[in-house]
Amino acid sequence: SLLLMSGVVAAVGLCRRLARRRLRSRPRLFAFLLEMFSTFQICACTSELSLLGGVEPKPHTALTLTYGFTVLHGLTLAGSTCNPCGTLQPMWGGGTSVSMGGLKIAAQFVAAVLARVFMHFVWSLEMAEPHSGALSQGCSSPMQTTEVQAFCIELLFSVVFQLAVLRAESVNPKYRVHLIALLITMLVYAGGNLTGAIFNPALAFSLHADCFYDKFLSYSLVYWIAPTLGKFLILHVF
């Protein structure tokens, strides 16, 4: 599993470098591909991490890997938001046009689908022990509480996360990535057993697309509307 995730990070890094060299003269295509590659890395690695939640000792192994790979994502994916909610901020402030923001959000959801297809293919090969039976789970629902409580948890986590990101903008980047990773790990520890602590619409769709098919209204309310509403609350306050 660690080799697989490391391979994904290395491949995405190579793709991002090639895009920078070849597509600088085509800014819209460059922005789309950069956001798509980055979101693909987040979704693919998180999908694999979700299979390692039961590895002993629990939950220390899962939390350590969550922190480590969050730091790795922060260091290797600079300049990408990988979260539709994060893309709304520059759109709201006028720093990004609506068309460019919509293009990035589309790239994030395209990456979510591609990551899901890729990981299902890898899991079907059963190269590692955690992959056995991963495809037979169907809707492995992360929502282990009522819809109202799940909505409130994802809303609260989104507010806390987005507020921390805004407040950490003045922090030295080499420290900021560790602060954000520590916060995400703490949120996963606090609410991972209740909602999955996702607060990212694209990532939620990549991880639990089957659940969206089965219970679209409740899952879209909790994993799409709640984090988006949290982002708008932060934008309104600031």
Query: Does 56 have pLDDT greater than 80?
Result: no
pLDDT, position 174 = 85
One DSSP character per residue, 207-231 reads: H-HHHHHHSHHHHHIIIIIHHHHHH
Each residue of 14-26: pLDDT tens digit?
A: 999 999 998 878 8
Query: Does 149 have pLDDT greater than 70?
Result: yes
Each residue of 113-134: pLDDT tens digit?
A: 999 999 999 999 888 888 887 7
pTM recorded for the entire structure: 0.94
- The 10 Å CB-count burial string (b at 16+, else e) for 52-80 is bbeeeeebeebbebbbebbbbbbeebeeb
pLDDT, position 207 = 92
Higher pLDDT, 57 or 9: 9
Each residue of 186-219: pLDDT tens digit?
A: 999 999 889 999 999 999 999 999 888 888 999 9
For the chain, the domains span 2-237
- HSE-up of 92 (CA within 13 Å, CB side)? 15
Considering the domain 2-237 in this protein, what is its CATH number? 1.20.1080.10
- Secondary structure element (H or E) that encloses residue 88, with its range: helix 84-93
Query: What is the chain's length?
Result: 238
Average pLDDT, the chain: 90
Name the pLDDT band for 172 (thresholds 50, 70, 90). Answer: confident
> Which residues make Cβ contacts (< 8 Å) with residue 64, sequence separation at least 6?
none
Query: Does 140 have pLDDT greater than 80?
Result: no
Higher pLDDT, 93 or 196: 196
Mean pLDDT, to the nearest integer, of 47-60? 83
Name the pLDDT band for 230 (thresholds 50, 70, 90). Answer: very high
Percent of the chain with pLDDT over 70: 99
pLDDT, position 95 = 76
pLDDT, position 138 = 65
